[in-house]
Amino acid sequence: MSEEINGAGGAAAAPPGTDVKSLDIVQVMAALPHRYPLLLVDRVVALVPDQSIHAVKAVSMNEQFFQGHFPGRPIMPGVLQIEALAQAAGVLAVESLGLSGSGKLVYFMAIEEAKFRTPVEPGCLLDLHVEFVQKRSKVCKFAGKAMLGDKIASEANFTAMIG
């Protein structure tokens, strides 16, 4: 099945014959060890193994961090936006390497060129677009953008290790 990973900042159309997957929250939880309140990926819209992922985070006023960031003007912390991108990258890596349910973890090693452009407020749907930049047996590099519609909320390049 060939399908375009839509949204600004997303990948181009998958090559013909490429398997494009979507994952519900149960499948996301099988791929990631994270749980509430730190599970920041709600579902995967499209995953092209060995290439890219488009996941989403529904930002709710019920998030714990809004109690203190900031009272009267709730804004999702930038570091949590980057964490959401990293979790999406973790799902991409685990699914691409066939490690879902194996107990293998994906650890952050580096964050580079992080930029925060648009505040993320309660009620937003944060689109997480991540692509492989480099993939080796245990270390992977990714480029990610968190989008609010056609606006970039945050972006970063990051490195992770499969452990």
Catalytic residue numbers, as ranges: 69
Phi, psi of 30 (to 5 degrees): -70, -30
Find the DSSP H helices in the chain. 25-31, 78-96
**Of 124, 47, 112, nearest to 82 (Cα)?**
112
Q: What is the rounded CA–CA span in Å between residue 102 and residue 48?
A: 20
**Of 80, 83, 93, nearest to 31 (Cα)?**
93
Q: Give the H or E element holding residue 132.
A: strand 125-135
